[in-house]
Amino acid sequence: MVNSMTAFARAQSDQDGLSLTWEIRSVNHRFLETQFRLPEQVRALEHGLRETLRKHLNRGKVDCTLRLERQAGENTIELNRPLLLQILALVEQLRRDLPEIGSPNAMDLLRWPGIIGNNTSPQDESLVRRVEELFAETLSELTAHRQREGTQLVNLISNRLEEIDKTVKLIKTQTHSISHQLQAKLRTRVEELQAKVEESRFEQEIALLAQRADVAEELDRLSIHVEEARTSLRGPGPHGRRLDFLSQELNREANTIAAKSILAETSKEAVDLKVLIEQIREQVQNIE
């Protein structure tokens, strides 16, 4: 299944007077890059949560944020006295070694991480369990969102691939009798100039021009790349890097066709090809 790298999920739960809110955002990225923003009380859970996330996602820049807030009617500021006493003991020890250091500023102490807030700690097993469960629920919602958007991307890319197929067939029709068209144009030009040209020399020039304008090989490779892209979309994945490579190859063939084109109508179709391929490339950037 094709997954998008762009998604958002949010889940909320109540636990012992606390409101827990997880938010996970993901955008496209070459690799998997994760960032967690956690309250100090549950900072120790980050490693385990990160490993859980890596089991479900392969690519994308993922931001995970957890908020712990006291519910209405329970908003009280609490002092973490054990931590405060530890800090004061360390300050006193430091002052014995460096007497010139003054007394600590009260406001600086209050800014110390974990000094004020609630007394909930990662040792609270019920809180830890609920944080992990809620994270799993949010991650599941994010994964479902990525799958839904991935399905839409598959439809968009498949439509563009069908348009490329149609354009390739049209160019094949236009260039099927390229040598006869070149012969007619060159003979008309010779007659306009009233020049005398040996028939053998004339035929050599036609053959050379036809060879330079031949795009059959490029059209065949375009068709092969299009079918390979369809196979990749149907495969188990991951899909993003392979589809990105194929879009580059499609663009290379389209550029060659445009450079070789000597017919106005073929030049126009080559431009349309490049537009379709660029649209595919832009969508592929969001695929995991």
Tokens linked to 65: 């944020």
pLDDT, mean over the chain: 84
What is the per-residue pLDDT for 122? Answer: 43
Second-level CATH architecture of 7-75+125-146: 2-Layer Sandwich (3.30)
Query: For the segment 104-125, what is each residue's pLDDT rounded down to a tens digit?
Result: 778 777 777 767 665 444 447 8
Q: Does residue 82 or residue 166 have the better pLDDT?
A: 166
Helices (H), ranges, 5-105 = 46-56, 81-97
Residue type, 21: T
Across residues 5-23, what is the average pLDDT? 90
Task: Say if residue 64 is exposed, middle or buried (CB neighbours under 10 Å; 0-12, 13-18, 19+).
Answer: buried
Convert the pLDDT of each residue in 239-263 to its tens digit.
Answer: 999 999 999 999 999 999 888 887 7
Q: What is the pLDDT of residue 2?
A: 92
> Taking the model in full, what pTM does it have?
0.71
In 3D, which of 9, 147, 141 has the Cα closest to residue 65? 9
> What percent of the chain stands above pLDDT 90?
52
In sequence order, which residues have a C-beta less than 8 Å from that of residue 50 and are 6 or more positions away? 34, 36
With a CB cutoff of 8 Å and minimum separation 6, the contacts of 41 are: 68, 114, 117, 118, 120, 121, 122, 127
pLDDT at position 198 over 70? no
Looking at CATH, the fold of the domain delimited by 149-284 is given as: Butyryl-CoA Dehydrogenase, subunit A; domain 3 (1.20.140)
Predicted local confidence at residue 24, as pLDDT: 97
Q: Can you tell me whether residue 114 is helix, strand or coil?
A: coil
Give the pLDDT confidence score for residue 143 in this predicted structure: 96
Q: What is the mean pLDDT of residues 191-200?
A: 61
> Which pLDDT belongs to residue 88?
84
Residue 159's contacts (CB-CB under 8 Å, 6 or more residues apart) are: none
Task: Determine how β-strand 60-70 pairs with β-strand 78-79.
Answer: unpaired
pLDDT at 59 exceeding the cut of 60 = yes
Q: Please, what is the angle between helix 199-213 and helix 178-193, to 10°?
A: 130
- For residue 14, pLDDT beyond 70: yes
pLDDT tens-digit readout, 204-222: 665 556 556 678 888 999 9
Give burial (CB, 10 Å; 0-12/13-18/19+) of 247. buried
pLDDT, mean of residues 82-111: 79
Q: Output 263 or 127, whichever has higher pLDDT.
A: 127
Residue 156 pLDDT > 60 = yes
Taking the domains of the chain in order of start, what are their residue ranges? 7-75+125-146, 81-110, 149-284
pLDDT value of position 68: 86
Strand spans (E) along the chain? 7-15, 18-27, 32-37, 60-70, 78-79, 116-117
